[in-house]
Amino acid sequence: MKRKRKGFTLIELVVVISIILIFAGFIIPKFAGYQSRAKDTKAINTAKQIQSAALSSYSEMDGKFVAASVESAVIDLTGAADPEAVVETEGTVEISFTSDSESYSVRITDSAGTFEVYKGEANTQIYPK
């Protein structure tokens, strides 16, 4: 009589491990892409908070963007790191900030109440697309 062995053979284990490694090879690059999109989404949400703070400052300064006032409002009302405001025209301000070790900027227009978010030194627009 032959005894029946319990367990897996070495070939079965090697096949299962190789299949797992193939699946991991597909998933790891997608995961990095998801992380990048999540960081951009976090920056867009921060930009929305910055917009609210900047428009609050705008209304307090009688319909004008004042760089120091905007920076102060952004620091007080948001969690943005190192905001720097530059008033481009009387009704437009650009605020640079850092989020997850990446530099972003948000351009806010008072007349339409809209904002645009740009990423990095190349000023790649990430919102609205």
The structure's pTM equals: 0.78
Per the structure, how many domains does the chain have?
Answer: 1
In a domain, 25, yes or no: yes
Show the 3-state SS of the chain: CCCCCCCCCHHHHHHHHHHHHHHHHHHHHHHHHHHHHHHHHHHHHHHHHHHHHHHHHHHHCCCCCCHHHHHHHHHHHCCCEEEEEEEEECCEEEEEEEECCEEEEEEEECCCCEEEEEECCCCEEEECC
Taking residues 37-54, report their average pLDDT: 94
In a domain, 1, yes or no: no
The domain in which residue 24 lies consists of: 11-127
In a domain, 4, yes or no: no
Residue 5 has pLDDT above 90, yes or no: no
Residue 84: what pLDDT? 95
Provide the mean pLDDT of the chain. 91
Tens digit of each residue's pLDDT (9 = 90 or more) over 58-76: 989 988 999 999 999 999 9
Binned at pLDDT 50, 70 and 90, residue 80 comes out as confident
